[in-house]
Structure 1
């Protein structure tokens, strides 16, 4: 059974197909994407070992010419050097403007391959094949593609929408528990920012998601994609509403940067960032303590960290936040819960002493 969610962007609208074993239908689904017969399939060694050869063979049998290109695993792959390696591979393969780039993997592969697709020949057709929960519910949808700078995450990038997203839920069964947890952070985010009923459903069904029950996964992925599609459809380039998707990301991205992207998975850092935002909301009178503890409990049910480690210097975190791409006129901007769950607001934080106090308190559970 397949469910389709549409990202409505007028002539650039595209479908997100969600279901079990959809990669087996890839040649058929590509026929709807208006692409040429030449494909660059970008993936990493781990994902390639599971799916790459079979997909390349199936596409070749369907009449496509496939160039399979591997990039390293992990956030460290999102660099200008790795993008340059993709440019070299594309030049050697003689890709033209109808050649398609297929990103097979998690958020790192999708971000890097999407950045390459957006910038080679001024834009190649781009298709997302996310194989992690985080990528299926978040990074593959909405057209944000980017690479990292040593000082800040995703600061070099573009808005570049895919032609098609195929979320094969069967790929999630190969993931370690930690990767499922990091994806659940983004799922929880959607309940906080836009849908209180979904948040309650997550409280009641988190154990089912942890067991990767197909019916529960289908609900969580579809609901998350629908929320993000609605937000992106109304504010593609993050001029206003789309900023709510950054809940937990101001502190989360800073934590990733100060730990050299080597300690935390993205969702783990965002989970800690969500709790920093919740504590700020409590300090500002926008959220009460029992509500913040409710969020903390759900994150813990998902197997996520909720506190800052003792060894992280508060000053370093604040400096990293001040390099965040969401800075406006030098002011730190946080997405904070209000009318929890289901609603958030953007809040400029000018009281750095208050922020430092909140960060120090974030070393301990509520």
Structure 2
């Protein structure tokens, strides 16, 4: 679980120890604290910083970080156009060769700067270099800060599906400057908070009143709101991974919304590239579909389904499939979900995280997965497509219009 050290770290930030199985690493966070980040990185005594990022993040934050890094050691920047296209084997191979040609050694440090996509690529690079070098995350999105860096999983995509190729590597440390999150575009900020909302619905329902109040207030970029959401995300994720470092037992509840969500994300990215629906938005839509399946099984009430729609809509995420993505398109991708193999094989069903109540996943507590027929998924998608959005201010794609 996560534990907070007494008081704040001198200089204006706080630290929590993230314990996942036998692994322990520090998570530092504060406001306007990049100078403190550089102080911590100086203590690593590295010969090379390998900064893995995307072109957008590099343009936004590179100048604030890179000069300070170059004063400490040599720096090799690996940057790609943003989006899932950088999480592929050809990109990984070329990046590894480039890093080795730049003189990387076992003393080198890989820094994942940005969101979950560059963070994942950085994690795989760090895991493969000399069978593992030090990995540091500096998340610049709410999705990364509140979800992906709270994990040992590092993965890239195959040509078949999302996150099929990867390993486990704990970061050496995580550093989050909330001021960087507050500069995100509104849609990207809200998208990342979808993972925090998932934690409230699936793990810590006692936090839902506060979440609804934060959403109603609309000031999601306020440092106080971001710090609370970050803190709750750490607590929720740590509570289910403390004895499950590989997220293959109790930690599987974190996959809530991901089965359909990953399929929608990948399908839309194949169609529109980086303009497609974001990871958080897709997961939020996947939660609505999962709640609909559970309701049709008699497990969740209509009120709980409407609560899902309320939270997802308030975050500006889609309540229906993106334009141009059909139910058939989603079904073609969802068959290759990366949770295959946890349950006995069946050609007519796949493993799914469903809730019997808020905070109560169905299935064995040690393996919170149930088999869901492909026909059930199709029917739920069709129901969601035809359902009238719960928010009266939704646009034609079921996305809430927020002022």
Q: What range is the shorter-chain TM-score in?
A: over 0.9
Question: Counterpart in 1 of 2:47?
Answer: 37
- Is 1:202 matched up with 2:224? no
User: Taking structure 1 as reference, are residues 96 and 310 closer, same or farther at Cα in structure 2, changes over 3 Å only?
Assistant: closer
- More helix as a share of residues: 1
Taking the aligned partners of 2:91 and 2:38, their CA distance within structure 1 comes to 28
For the 8 Å contact 1:335–1:347, the answer to whether it is kept is yes
For the 8 Å contact 1:131–1:171, the answer to whether it is kept is yes
Taking the aligned partners of 2:89 and 2:268, their CA distance within structure 1 comes to 20
Question: Counterpart in 1 of 2:142?
Answer: 133
- Is 1:363 matched up with 2:385? yes
User: Taking structure 1 as reference, are residues 37 and 270 closer, same or farther at Cα in structure 2, changes over 3 Å only?
Assistant: same
- Is 1:22 matched up with 2:44? no
- Is 1:51 matched up with 2:68? no
User: Taking structure 1 as reference, are residues 323 and 11 closer, same or farther at Cα in structure 2, changes over 3 Å only?
Assistant: closer
Residue aligned with 2:370, SS: strand
Taking the aligned partners of 2:185 and 2:312, their CA distance within structure 1 comes to 18
Taking the aligned partners of 2:369 and 2:66, their CA distance within structure 1 comes to 47
Q: How far did 1:365 drift?
A: 3.3
For the 8 Å contact 1:43–1:52, the answer to whether it is kept is no
Taking the aligned partners of 2:297 and 2:231, their CA distance within structure 1 comes to 34
RMSD: 1.9
Question: Counterpart in 1 of 2:315?
Answer: 302
User: Taking structure 1 as reference, are residues 184 and 121 closer, same or farther at Cα in structure 2, changes over 3 Å only?
Assistant: same
For the 8 Å contact 2:182–2:223, the answer to whether it is kept is no
Q: How far did 1:218 drift?
A: 0.5
Q: Deviations over 1:135-176 (max 9, x none)?
A: 100112212111112321111111111110111110012211
Question: Counterpart in 1 of 2:392?
Answer: none
- Is 1:115 matched up with 2:128? no
Question: Counterpart in 2 of 1:348?
Answer: 370
User: Taking structure 1 as reference, are residues 142 and 347 closer, same or farther at Cα in structure 2, changes over 3 Å only?
Assistant: closer
Aligned mate of 1:254, from 263, 266, 270: 263
Residue aligned with 2:386, SS: coil
The answer for unaligned runs of 5 or more in structure 2 is 1-11, 363-367, 389-403
TM-score, normalised with respect to structure 2? 0.85
Alignment of 1:264-303 (within 5 A): 264-303=277-316
Taking the aligned partners of 1:364 and 1:180, their CA distance within structure 2 comes to 28
- Is 1:228 matched up with 2:234? no
Q: Deviations over 1:80-99 (max 9, x none)?
A: 12212221221121111121
What is the number of residues matched between the two proteins? 363
Residue aligned with 2:351, SS: strand
Deviation larger for 285-294 or 148-157: 148-157
TM-score, normalised with respect to structure 1? 0.93
- Is 1:245 matched up with 2:245? no
The answer for unaligned runs of 5 or more in structure 1 is none
User: Taking structure 1 as reference, are residues 9 and 348 closer, same or farther at Cα in structure 2, changes over 3 Å only?
Assistant: closer
Taking the aligned partners of 1:94 and 1:57, their CA distance within structure 2 comes to 20
Q: Deviations over 1:233-261 (max 9, x none)?
A: 22111221010000000000111222245
For the 8 Å contact 1:193–1:344, the answer to whether it is kept is yes
Taking the aligned partners of 2:127 and 2:374, their CA distance within structure 1 comes to 37
For the 8 Å contact 1:150–1:257, the answer to whether it is kept is no
Question: Counterpart in 1 of 2:337?
Answer: 324
Q: How far did 1:9 drift?
A: 4.1
User: Taking structure 1 as reference, are residues 54 and 308 closer, same or farther at Cα in structure 2, changes over 3 Å only?
Assistant: closer
For the 8 Å contact 2:354–2:370, the answer to whether it is kept is no
